[in-house]
Structure 1
Amino acid sequence: MRQSAERDAQLARGQWLGPLHGFPQAIKDLDDAAGFPTSMGSPLFKGQVATSDTLYVERMKRAGCVIIGKTNTPEFGLGSQTYNSVYGTTRNAYDPSMAAGGSSGGAAVAVALRMQAVADGSDHAGSLRNPAAFNNVFGLRPSFGRVPGVTGDVFSPSLTVMGPMARSVPDLAMLLSVQAGYDPRVPLSLDTDPALFARPLTRISWDASGLVRRFRRCNAIRSGRAGTVRACATGLRVVGLHRGTRQA
C-alpha cells in the first residue's frame, strides 16, 4: 500500500515510470522477486526468500509495477496443470471443478479473475498458451531470447522462454514491450527495440470471398465446411482486419 501511495504521488508530481505504473503484479513462482518466496512449487525450496529480482522482473519494476506476491505453478514448472504440495491446487477461473492448465495456471487465473491486468509466465511446450486458453485470456510464447533470462523451469537450458499474458492483445503487446530487449548478461537475448511491440497493430488486406474460393480446393472445404471459412472471415472483420485496407 505504501508503494501504491508513492505511485500516486509520483503521478501528482508529473512523474510517470512507464506502462505498468501502479499495476499490482504477482510473479510466477519460478522466478525471483526480491523479498518474496521462490518455492518453484517444491517443498525443497519452501520458505526460500529471494534477495534479488529476475532480469525481466527488474524491467517490470522499472516500468512502475508494484509486486504483491507470486502466482502458482506445478513443481519446477513441470506439467500442464497447476498444483503442488506447497500451495495446493489452482482451479479454473470459470469452473472450479476443472483444471487451470499449466504451468502458468496461477498467472492465467489471476488475470481472468481481474486480480491483475497482465501477468508474466514461462513456456516450454504450452505453459503460457495452454492455461491462457483454459481461462479465456491471451498468452504469447515469444521467440527464444526475446525476453532475456532463465527461469527455474526444468527445461530452461533448452527451450523455455518467458512471455506475457493478458485479457487483450494490446495489453499483451504492452507487457511484451516491457519484458523484451537485449541484455549483455544474456548473450542469446535478441537485439530488437522493444518499443516495436507497443506500436499499433497493423491491418492487413484480405478478401473473404477470395478466401472461400481459395480454400474450396481443399478437401475440408469440399466436404461442406466453406461456412467455417466464412465464419473465420467474419471474425477477422470483427477484430479489425478490414477488407482491402492496409495500415502501417
Structure 2
Amino acid sequence: MDRKDDYETPSEFHLDEQNGERYQREALKPERSIRGRLSPLVIYTLLGLAILMSFVILGTAVHLITGNSEEVSVSLAKLKAELAELTKNLSHGRPFNQWRRFNHKLYYFSSSRHSWNESMKFCASMKSQLVVINSNPEQEFIQRNIKCGHWIGLHDTVVEGVWRWVDGTDYATGFKNWAAYQPSNMGLGLGTDCALVTGTGGWYAWHCDSWHYPLCEKPED
C-alpha cells in the first residue's frame, strides 16, 4: 500500500460514536425520518412561511389603516420572491434518508447508526448493498455528501489482512483510498476488520461492532 502525504489520524475526523453508552437501534425502515427531529429544509421552509404570513397580516393592517394598497402589494410581491429564492436554495441541502443519484447508481445515506453486520442487513432490506467504491469520481461524490464515518462494503473478516468487497470486486487491482498507514490497528486492538469512509475521504479499518451510518448503493432503475 502506498503511503499518503496527507496523514490522517482518528483525532482528525468525526466518527460520531456513542462510546460507553447504550444504543437503542432504530427499526430498519428507510422511509423513517430522524427520530424526533425535522430536517433543516422543513424547519427553514416552515420558518419562511411563518415570516411571510406575519408580513401578510402586517400588510393587511397597514392597508386598512393607510389605504395604500399599491405599495402594500409591491412589498408582498417582493417578500414572496425572496421566500421562493430561500426555498430554492434550501432545496440544494442534503438531507438524510434519501436516495441520491450519481453515475447511473443510487446511494442512500442513512440517519441511523448500526454495526457493520446490521448495516449489511439494513441495505439488503432496501434491495441494495453497502457501497463498493470503484473510482476516484465515486469517492469524491461520497466525500462531498458525508461529514463523519460511514460503513462501506469492505472487510477482512474471513482471513485477517485479506480485504474483500461484498460484491466480489477484486480488491487487489481495484481502487483504494486508505488513509495514511491504513489499514492497521493503530493501537485499537484486534477486530478492526471492517472499513469505513470518513468526512475527509480516507478509509479506516475499524471495529465491526461499532456504530456508524450505513452507506448503501444499488443500480439506477
Q: Compute the TM-score of the two structures, normalised by the length of structure 1.
A: 0.21
Q: Which has the larger radius of gyration?
A: 2
Q: Compute the TM-score of the two structures, normalised by the length of structure 2.
A: 0.23
Ranked by relative contact order (alpha carbons within 8 Å, sequence separation 6 or more), the top structure is 2
